[in-house]
Amino acid sequence: MFGLFKKDPVAKLQKAYEAKMLEARDVQRSGDLRKYAVVMEEAEEILKKIEATKV
């Protein structure tokens, strides 16, 4: 009952991860592979946080 209005932290992280992956796709298509690597590293960090939160 009291957790009814509580936000799900995994959902917020999942949304951030999806946004970062879309950004990575756009950067890769533009041809900037160095920036693509940086963005993918940031996405992997978010994914690690998601996995740690689920446990």
Residue 39, domain member (yes or no): yes
Residue 4, domain member (yes or no): no
- What is the pLDDT at residue 1? 55
Residue 14, domain member (yes or no): yes
Residue 17, domain member (yes or no): yes
Structure tokens at 27: 């950067």
Number of folded domains in the chain?
1
* Predicted confidence pLDDT, tens digits, the chain (55 residues): 566 777 888 999 999 999 999 999 999 999 999 999 999 999 999 999 999 998 7
- What is the pLDDT at residue 3? 65
Residue 2, domain member (yes or no): no
SS (H, E, C) the chain: CCCCCCCCHHHHHHHHHHHHHHHHHHHHHHCCHHHHHHHHHHHHHHHHHHHHHHC
- What is the pLDDT at residue 55? 79
